[in-house]
Structure 1
Amino acid sequence: MSLSSLAAARGLPLHQASSAAEQAQQLAERVAEALNRALSTSATASLALSGGRSPEAFLRQLDRQPVNWSRIRLTLVDERWVPDTHADSNAGLVRRCMPTALRSATWYGLYQGGAPQRQPESDAQAASAFLQAWLPLDVVVLGMGTDGHCASLFPEQPGLEARLARNAPALCEAVPGPQQAPRLTLTGAALRTARLQLLAISGEDKYQRLCDAFVGPATQWPVAAFLAPPLEIFYSPEG
């Protein structure tokens, strides 16, 4: 079955762009629309963003959107356990791409490190405690790897099934990433509270992997845990 058929069967909107640039614009406008709608009925709105390399164009477009960033609470879906000066830092990516937003938004970076006694686990505990007041999240933007992972929730990761659940024991956990590099990730207990969940993918490989996830278990394809309303999918053939 095609992705459009699989998404329609679950009641999931599928936004198909002809280019990466068009996808970035569509996604930025959808996030801004949702945040502004949330702000029309609440003093603040909360947004959790994905990092990596794919979202750069989207983040730059989002920074230009007409949003009152002083009323936005902004955090990350996941983070490598490195300072924001590191080339692999998701926080560093957001800082480079969204300078306008970060001048006034309330920002919470998952990595707090620095002090000798800090460990990924202590940062995860601090994030779980801090972000409790931000729930339910208003918007979550997810990406997906070619292995079907999203956030830092990887196939066959120890404890994955519990971590994906709505009643996961913590909002944020320290987990091993590829090559066992430590990461911090929000869990289903945080991500699945979001009133709007957006999944952005691009390229034929990820298209096929997402189709697999619609019919496979979340333990094999972690993104499968999120393939239900209120998710919307944004796809571009360009990687």
Structure 2
Amino acid sequence: MSELARLAEERGVMLHTAASAQQQAQWLEQRITKALQEALLARGRATLALSGGRSPIPLLQALNLIELAWEQVGITLVDERWVPPEHAESNAGLLWRHMPQVMSRVHWQPLYHGAGALQDAERSSAALQAWLPLDVVVLGMGSDGHTASLFPGMEGLAAALSRHAEVPCLSCQAPDGRQRLTLTGAALHSARLQLLAIRGEDKASTLTAALAGGRPEWPVSAFLRPPLQIVYSADAS
């Protein structure tokens, strides 16, 4: 058993290892689809918060092929750069490019609205409050231990990570100084299914250190407990 697997088991967190990025995407798609189907059967609606960046692209492409009652599903983002959808770095743009069949049918709740970062966070919080608890959240993680746009050392981090955070969405600054919008612990911890997808040995090292408990200042450490499920692939391509 690897150190990563041993530490995850000690925490009571399920860890799945995928041989490739494509297998990781398939594993995620199956669990997301099952959770959404169960939510639709139980409550007639379902909610999903997705991460952006390059790593989720295979998952988005897999979800785009799934037949589901998408008209009854609400989709939002875990975080967003404060840029319009047509910007190359927009996470909303990423979703529209890689799962257009899904996005054309769902109830889409963007984080960016163009009024200003603070105003957009307030508007998104008001809309997302009615969605809580979420059904599925898919998190990623940076090599610095950040998740969503919750970064080590950011102002108000402890309050933002708390499941009792005052708002589900807030505006913040990334280490590069650029404005972002992020879900807080109030939304992220609420999810019935919480997934963390990581790829590459550098991120495995970061996650191992976080699971060992020695880096409580890393935002990802706040989520390393049940009901989180982790899927890891050494394939960082």
TM-score normalised by L of structure 1: 0.96
1:199 pairs, out of 196, 208, 211, with: 196
Among 108, 132, 141, the alignment partner of 1:135 is 132
Secondary structure of 1:211's match?
Answer: helix
State the shift of 1:63 in Å. Answer: 1.4
Distance in 1, Cα, partners of 2:66 & 2:27: 11
Tell me the distance in 1 between the aligned counterparts of 2:127 and 2:135: 16
Instruction: For residue 138 of structure 1, report the CA deviation from its aligned partner.
Output: 0.2
After TM superposition, give the deviation of residue 170 of structure 1 in Å: 1.2
Q: Give the structure-2-normalised TM-score.
A: 0.97
Q: Which residue of 1 aligns with 2:144?
A: 147
Greater mean alpha carbon deviation, residues 170-179 or residues 198-207: 170-179
Q: Is 1:3 aligned with 2:19?
A: no
Distance 2:215 2:126 in 1: 30
2:76 and 2:108 in contact (8 A); partners too? yes
CA contact (8 A) 1:124 1:184 kept: yes
How much does 1:67 deviate?
A: 2.0
Deviations 1:147-191 (A, max 9, x none): 010000001111111100011121111000131100000000111
Alignment match, 1:88 = 89
Q: Output the CA distance in 1 between the equivalents of 2:40 and 2:53.
A: 28
Question: How many residue pairs were aligned?
Answer: 234
Match of 1:163 in 2: 160
Equivalent position of 1:230 in the other structure: 227
SS at match of 1:180: coil
What amino acid sits opposite 1:151 in the alignment?
A
The aligned residue for residue 218 of structure 1 is 216
Give how far 1:100 is off: 1.1
- Structure 1 residue runs of 4 or more that deviate by more than 3 Å after TM superposition: none
Q: What is the letter of the counterpart of residue 95 of structure 2?
A: V
| Equivalent residues in 2 for 1:48-197, closer than 5 Å | 48-113=49-114, 118-197=115-194
Cα displacement string for residues 14-45 of structure 1 (whole angstroms, at most 9, x for unaligned residues): 11111111111111111111111111111100
Shift of 1:218: 3.4
What percentage of aligned pairs have identical amino acids? 54
Structure 2: which amino acid aligns with 1:80? R
Q: How does 1:18-29 map to 2 (within 5 A)?
A: 18-29=19-30
CA contact (8 A) 2:209 2:215 kept: no
Cα distance between partner residues in 2 of 1:161 and 1:178: 17
The Cα offsets for residues 115-172 of structure 1, whole Å up to 9 and x where unpaired, read as: xxx2100000111111000010000000000101000000111111110001112111
5+ residue gaps, structure 1: none
Contact persistence 2:139–2:148 (CA under 8 A): yes
The answer to whether the 8 Å contact 1:197/1:230 transfers is: yes
In the aligned structure 1, how far is the partner of 2:43 from the partner of 2:178?
Answer: 39
What is the rounded CA distance, in whole Å, between the counterparts of 1:218 and 1:171 in structure 2? 22
Deviation of the 1:61 alpha carbon: 0.5
Q: Give the SS at the match of 1:235.
A: strand
Cα distance in 1, alignment partners of residues 89 and 202 from structure 2: 23
Assess if the C-alpha contact under 8 Å between 1:79 and 1:89 holds in 2: yes
